Amino acid sequence: MTSTIRRATPSDAALLARHRARVWVEVGEFDTEDHPHVGVWRRWLVGALTDGRLVAWIAEEDTAPVASAWLLIAPAVPGPDSAAEHDGRVHSVWVEPSWRRRGIARALMDVMVEHARAYPLRRLTLHSSDDAKPLYVSMGFTPLDEMKLYFEE
């Protein structure tokens, strides 16, 4: 991999929102990348990147963005295995299709894991597509047993 990885800034919010929409298209949740949520995400990203709730990275090849990944940082109760007071949630790891299978997602995740350890975060969690599961398993991620309840808007 020859791409450069840089930390995203609030000025990257539109790009990150577009990449998230592409994730949702690929997993079959959206029919188009022009979904109304793109604007919602862009506005949220500006605030979250500004106040530090979210850290994101962009991989570039010759200054053109080819991939990105986000890390949402949340307060957490220290556990018996860690005194850290924050957890991390990985979101929207996305690589342009023509740049896949070149180690870019792994490189982004390596940067993220390094950041998480230094922060320090208690743990990282994520929801993976079937295609990406081998990458995360190879990095030491293991399945969790969780439940969820959605509330309608």
Cβ contacts of 120 within 8 Å, gap of 6 or more: 82, 84, 86
Q: Which has the higher per-residue pLDDT, 144 or 29?
A: 144
pLDDT tens-place string over residues 18-76: 999 998 888 877 777 777 789 999 999 999 999 999 999 999 999 999 999 999 999 99
Element (H, E) at 1: none
Placement of tokens 């969780």 in the chain: 146
Element (H, E) at 102: none
Q: What is the DSSP string of the chain?
A: ---EEEE--GGGHHHHHHHHHHHHHHTTS-S-TT-THHHHHHHHHHHHHHHTSEEEEEEEETTEEEEEEEEEEEE---BTTB---EEEEEEEEEE-GGGTTSSHHHHHHHHHHHHHHHTT-S-EE----TTTHHHHHHTT-------------
Average pLDDT score, the chain:
93
Cis check: omega of the bond before 36, within 30 degrees of 0: no
**How far is residue 75's CA from residue 43's CA, in Å, rounded to a whole number?**
22
pLDDT more than 90, % of the chain:
78
pLDDT of residue 32: 72
**Mean pLDDT within 87-103:** 96
Residue 7 has pLDDT above 80, yes or no: yes
Domains, in order of start, for the chain: 4-138 (3.40.630.30)
